[in-house]
Structure 1
Amino acid sequence: MNILLPVILSGGAGTRLWPVSREAHPKPFIRLPDGQSLLQKTFLRAASLPGVQRILTVTNRDYYFQTKDEYQPLAPSAEPIYLLEPCSRNTAPAVALAALYAHDRFGLQTTLLILPADHLIKKLEAFHQAFATAVVLAQQGWLVTFGITPSAPETGFGYIEAGDPLPVQDGAGRVAVRFVEKPDAVRAAEYLAAGRFFWNAGMFCFTAEALLTAMETTCPDLFAAARTVWQQTEPAANPVELPKVPFNELPDISIDYALMEKAANVAVVPCDLGWSDIGSWNALVELAQADDAGNRTIGETMLLDCHNTFVQSEAHLVAAVGVQDLIIVDTPDATLVAHKEKAQDVKRIVKHLKDCNHEAFRVHRTVYRPWGSYTVLEERPRFKIKRIEVKPGASLSLQLHHHRSEHWVVVTGMAKVINGSQEFFVRPNESTYIPAGQPHRLMNPGTIPLIMIEVQCGEYLGEDDIVRIEDQYGRKA
């Protein structure tokens, strides 16, 4: 029996959606106006397909626990399984290792459906129809890609030229003639007028056998390197952790460049899915409801005499007067103001922040951890104040700090604390003090979230001043 295994590729920095998207909180995790994340929508879309019992997510090891937290409230009908990368190596290595996983666990005839985690698809029935066509073609040995029917001469997407119809599903599948790089405006208009060019959605469907056979021929060095990684991996685990040393040797290349543009047996399924890659703030803006003046808002906002302006506020009231064609995004630690025509240039801000080693390119003021989250409320020389929330039953590592002391005040819930040689409980409105150099641990033994305020004092307050003695999540630093 052929098994269908959707594979969600989840990662990327999402630099064009800063300041909501950060390196430690990339685009798949951002919330849309309806409250769901792009990652949650992708998982639900994959789970809605007939016959799906498991969904494989390929993601960075650092995103594993946050990904689990995203899936948990969905009450998924399909079992989430995970392939964890130690670093980013683009889509070709990710797809190759997903195929090797499928080969080992379920057999060479497993049909893989590759889905980026950060795309939006509004027309679910059309997605199901395109998927059904793709599966038939994949089981005939084709490497199938999905081509989005273009609605405009878009210069931000790659294109696929479609050729002769294939004898499946009333000719819904066609031979892929060639892949085309992002064109200029003139060429994009020509593609739109020709009627045989489609946007490359970065979604694929093929059997594990067809994919691995094509890779062995088309990109043998990548195939060999991926096999070396897999030979040192334990495939029966969940999550499957890929070994760091051989994985680092894999080339950083997309599946399009490594395989799809070179292989001879590539088919395209043209489709109109209501698709968007949410590649810039302009795309995200369109998801919010517009008023009579073309303004769109999320959060607590007030706009007077404004036109065609988007305002998003996460923490407090944002007011705008007499402006037009602007994007204003306010988060607790950073604010973006950009003209809509410059929305794609937000990535330049992120590059500059990264070059300056500014924390705002990497993390939000709220940072997620396997045990919960913390929010930096205030930071000045020699002190930092945090709000810490620990999930029921969760525990921080047994650790010590060389350069800072900590004072903990419980606000909600009950804390179980190890402080040096002592172990005791701390209840609301009670506190404990941990001097520098003292081993300590914070646990939530209760059934409700534990919320506490932490005051750090010391010469150095960096997050790297942690010596982990014992950690249930396997972290060493």
Structure 2
Amino acid sequence: MLIPVILSGGAGTRLWPVSREGYPKPFMKLSDGESLLLKTYRRAAIAAGKAAENAEILTVTNRDYYFMSKDELALAKVDHASAFLLEPAGRNTAPAVALAAHCVAAKHGRDALMLVLSADHLVQDQDRFVQAVEAAVSLAQQGHLATFGIVPATPETGFGYIEAGETLGCGKRVRRFVEKPKLEKAREYLEAGNFYWNSGMFCFKAGTILDEMSRHAPDVTRTIQACWEAMSHDSAMLEIPSEAFSQVPDISIDYAVMERSDKVAVVPADFGWSDIGSWLAVRELSTPDADNNRAIGDAIFVDSHNTYVHGQDRVVAAVGVDNLMIIDTPDALLVAHPDKAQDVKKVVARLKTQGHESYKLHRTVTRPWGSYTVLEEGTRFKIKRIEVKPGASLSLQMHHHRSEHWIVVSGMAKVVNGDRELFVSTNESTYIPAGHKHRLENPGVLDLVMIEVQSGEYLGEDDIVRFQDIYGRA
């Protein structure tokens, strides 16, 4: 049995302002409107040899991304026996893989195979990917830790490399892992012919990786065992205890095991892989015009060359510019030289230091019940567009510092306002004074859309006291 394990974490800071801490890279929509995570779910189901509705997938992600991940899983039509391992904080890939191995072994036995995939990678040739997985499965069944080495097309300096040795069944024995090289060294690797990009994808038996983890990373093994024993295992939503998880070393699976084990094999692969690590990678996904300009969204190029525009809500015009990347979102604009694409993360670091909210949230923020969009804000007021899914409900809550006016634009709202319960129809409104317990619910079968006008001395999102919540946030 092959169980896909999807590692879905990381803020994707080099893809700011589209990728943010509250809406990271796996959820980023590509030009076809699908997220990287959705594509990964579909790819994983096919690789496991299952129809989507019969696939079993284990997702390891942050607790804050559970509901968004579950929505993407539903879009992929994968819901059969799938489960989520929810981390209270990021601790790198070794702890995530170790806990996933415990889950798989407990449910299917130590000989069950794991296919470990990253949620934010893109694979363009599905058939070749499946062939590579079949080769990796063959190696894993023989007790090897199989990794996928991407045949390099260029002397890339942004990836780690794997040096391959003698042939080993359907793959090759790994001689060593190499850190990201300088350009001259990368050219040597390309010419040598036995170096591959390290994709960070793996296949092995649950028991094999647990044994190798115990052998090479005993601190990870000990602390993860404590986490596993402290967890409740009676649902598909497996929450990792914060206190126990805080004791786990922050280390990657490469450093913890793969670079130390003598059981590692590599499957050379060429299936159109990209880790979408920067705007340069995103740019290459779109078709250039005669002047080598590329665009996602509504863009106009006048006397411009080698320029990439990524727009969302408005037209972007580039006049007389050359070799630029322009990334436009409703609340943030990035203009960068392609040679500095890796430095976008420095912008995020500075925004975080300054406490600027745009490092974390978009104007539109996804919630388990739907979403809200900040339309305008100023001194003592904020205006939001709120959309609530059919059958969904916000928490029973209260605000100390603000009052709210709710105006229903479409749909029907069921409202708890203090001691009253009422229905508010389209073109009707209600007023929630500060200090009143209240709840908003959509009892209908269509989306509820409303405008919320907040007023008060403090309008921060942390001015929420939750009393009841169907999503476990109270």
Please give the secondary structure, in 1, of the residue aligned with 2:82. Answer: strand
Tell me how far 1:5 sits from its aligned partner.
0.4
Tell me how far 1:78 sits from its aligned partner.
4.9
Does residue 98 of structure 1 match 2:96? no
Counterpart in the other structure of 2:399: 401
After superposition, give the CA deviation of every residue in 1:312-337 in whole Å (9 maximum; x if it has no partner): 21111111101011100110000000
Tell me how far 1:75 sits from its aligned partner.
2.0
Query: Aligned letter for 1:347?
Result: K
Counterpart in the other structure of 1:157: 159
Of 85, 88, 113, the match for 1:86: 88
Asked if structure 2 preserves the Cα contact closer than 8 Å seen for 1:382 and 1:461, the reply is yes
Asked if structure 1 preserves the Cα contact closer than 8 Å seen for 2:219 and 2:248, the reply is no
Tell me how far 1:235 sits from its aligned partner.
2.2
Tell me how far 1:270 sits from its aligned partner.
0.7
Query: Aligned letter for 1:105?
Result: K
- CA distance, structure 1, for counterparts of residue 212 and residue 447 of structure 2: 50
Please give the secondary structure, in 1, of the residue aligned with 2:387. Answer: strand
Does residue 57 of structure 1 match 2:59? yes
Of 423, 427, 435, the match for 1:425: 423
Asked if structure 1 preserves the Cα contact closer than 8 Å seen for 2:73 and 2:79, the reply is no
After superposition, give the CA deviation of every residue in 1:60-113 in whole Å (9 maximum; x if it has no partner): 000000111112222237543211111111100000000001111111111000
Regions of 4+ moved over 4 Å? none
Query: Aligned letter for 2:285?
Result: L
Tell me how far 1:372 sits from its aligned partner.
0.4
Question: How many matched pairs?
Answer: 470
Asked if structure 2 preserves the Cα contact closer than 8 Å seen for 1:105 and 1:236, the reply is no
Please give the secondary structure, in 2, of the residue aligned with 1:54. Answer: coil
Of 112, 116, 119, the match for 2:118: 116
Tell me how far 1:236 sits from its aligned partner.
3.1
- CA distance, structure 2, for counterparts of residue 126 and residue 300 of structure 1: 34
Counterpart in the other structure of 2:317: 319
Of 223, 226, 236, the match for 1:225: 223
Does residue 200 of structure 1 match 2:198? yes
Asked if structure 2 preserves the Cα contact closer than 8 Å seen for 1:104 and 1:235, the reply is no
After superposition, give the CA deviation of every residue in 1:175-233 in whole Å (9 maximum; x if it has no partner): 00100000101111111111111000000000011000101110011101001000011
**Residues 277-356 of structure 1: pairs in structure 2 closer than 5 A:** 277-356=275-354
Query: Aligned letter for 2:155?
Result: P
- CA distance, structure 2, for counterparts of residue 96 and residue 296 of structure 1: 42
Please give the secondary structure, in 2, of the residue aligned with 1:448. Answer: coil
Tell me how far 1:303 sits from its aligned partner.
1.4
Counterpart in the other structure of 1:413: 411
More off after superposition, 66-75 vs 424-433: 66-75
Tell me how far 1:385 sits from its aligned partner.
0.3
- CA distance, structure 2, for counterparts of residue 174 and residue 313 of structure 1: 44
Does residue 143 of structure 1 match 2:145? yes
Gaps in structure 1 of 5+ consecutive residues: none
Counterpart in the other structure of 1:45: 43
Of 345, 355, 358, the match for 1:357: 355
Counterpart in the other structure of 1:373: 371
After superposition, give the CA deviation of every residue in 1:107-137 in whole Å (9 maximum; x if it has no partner): 1111000000000111111111111111011
Tell me how far 1:11 sits from its aligned partner.
1.1
Please give the secondary structure, in 2, of the residue aligned with 1:235. Answer: coil
Query: Aligned letter for 1:304?
Result: V
Counterpart in the other structure of 1:73: 75
Counterpart in the other structure of 2:257: 259
- CA distance, structure 2, for counterparts of residue 100 and residue 73 of structure 1: 27
Q: Give the TM-score, by structure 1 length.
A: 0.97
After superposition, give the CA deviation of every residue in 1:154-174 in whole Å (9 maximum; x if it has no partner): 1100000000101x2xxx311
Counterpart in the other structure of 1:444: 442
Does residue 234 of structure 1 match 2:232? yes
- CA distance, structure 1, for counterparts of residue 80 and residue 337 of structure 2: 42
- CA distance, structure 2, for counterparts of residue 71 and residue 133 of structure 1: 26
After superposition, give the CA deviation of every residue in 1:237-269 in whole Å (9 maximum; x if it has no partner): 111111111011111110000110011111111
Query: Aligned letter for 1:471?
Result: D
Asked if structure 2 preserves the Cα contact closer than 8 Å seen for 1:395 and 1:441, the reply is yes
More off after superposition, 77-86 vs 186-195: 77-86
Asked if structure 2 preserves the Cα contact closer than 8 Å seen for 1:31 and 1:37, the reply is yes
Asked if structure 1 preserves the Cα contact closer than 8 Å seen for 2:82 and 2:236, the reply is no
- CA distance, structure 1, for counterparts of residue 124 and residue 360 of structure 2: 30
- CA distance, structure 2, for counterparts of residue 291 and residue 79 of structure 1: 46
Of 440, 448, 458, the match for 1:460: 458
Gaps in structure 2 of 5+ consecutive residues: none
Query: Aligned letter for 1:276?
Result: S
Q: Tell me how large the CA RMSD over aligned residues is.
A: 0.9
Query: Aligned letter for 2:165?
Result: G
Query: Aligned letter for 1:84?
Result: L
**Residues 242-253 of structure 1: pairs in structure 2 closer than 5 A:** 242-253=240-251
Using a 3 Å threshold, how does the CA distance of structure 1 residues 336 and 403 change in structure 2: closer, same or farther? Answer: same
- CA distance, structure 2, for counterparts of residue 384 and residue 109 of structure 1: 56
- CA distance, structure 1, for counterparts of residue 173 and residue 413 of structure 2: 62
- CA distance, structure 2, for counterparts of residue 32 and residue 118 of structure 1: 11
Asked if structure 2 preserves the Cα contact closer than 8 Å seen for 1:134 and 1:205, the reply is yes
- CA distance, structure 1, for counterparts of residue 205 and residue 293 of structure 2: 46
Please give the secondary structure, in 2, of the residue aligned with 1:128. Answer: helix
Tell me how far 1:50 sits from its aligned partner.
4.3
- CA distance, structure 1, for counterparts of residue 271 and residue 114 of structure 2: 19
Counterpart in the other structure of 2:136: 134
Counterpart in the other structure of 2:2: 4
Asked if structure 1 preserves the Cα contact closer than 8 Å seen for 2:4 and 2:48, the reply is no
- CA distance, structure 2, for counterparts of residue 79 and residue 291 of structure 1: 46
Query: Aligned letter for 1:21?
Result: S
